[in-house]
Amino acid sequence: MWTVVLFDLPTDNRADRRQYARFRKNLLTDGFVMLQYSVYARHCASDENAEVHCKRIKKALPPRGEVRILKVTEKQFERMQVYHGTKRTPTEQAPKQLCLL
């Protein structure tokens, strides 16, 4: 399962920019990667694990702006179509699963 965070936060003044940077840093610290500007995603092993990360995001919400959280399955994420301009970059891959016996 993938957890996708989409946000639109104001950057009108210094305090807003600080809140934006703090929120973005929290996402990166929690293991999210940037798909596009203001769109971050993280692979989660289960729905329960995704809920843990959703709660962390809710705790870090800035006072202004809008944040959306979308949970999609592996199959839905694989069917995402990505188009590039002249410079191509590799598409995000799901992390390899470890099997502990």
Domain CATH code at residue 70 = 3.30.70.240
pLDDT of residue 26: 95
Q: Work out how many domains the chain is built from and give that number.
A: 1
In the chain, the percentage of residues whose pLDDT exceeds 70 is 86
Q: With bands split at pLDDT 50, 70 and 90, how would you rate the model's confidence at 98? A: low
Q: With bands split at pLDDT 50, 70 and 90, how would you rate the model's confidence at 85? A: confident
CA distances from 46 to 12, 15, 32, 74, 79 (A): 37, 36, 16, 11, 19
Domain hosting residue 59, numbered range? 2-78
8 A C-beta contact, residue 70 and residue 76: no
**pLDDT tens profile 7-34:** 999 999 999 999 999 999 999 999 999 9
Mean per-residue pLDDT of the chain: 89
* Greatest Cα-to-Cα distance within the chain, rounded to the nearest angstrom: 53
Give a yes or no: residue 28 inside a domain.
Answer: yes
Give a yes or no: residue 30 inside a domain.
Answer: yes
pTM: 0.80
Give a yes or no: residue 18 inside a domain.
Answer: yes
State phi, psi for 89 to the nearest 5 degrees. Answer: -130, 150
Give a yes or no: residue 89 inside a domain.
Answer: no
Give a yes or no: residue 90 inside a domain.
Answer: no
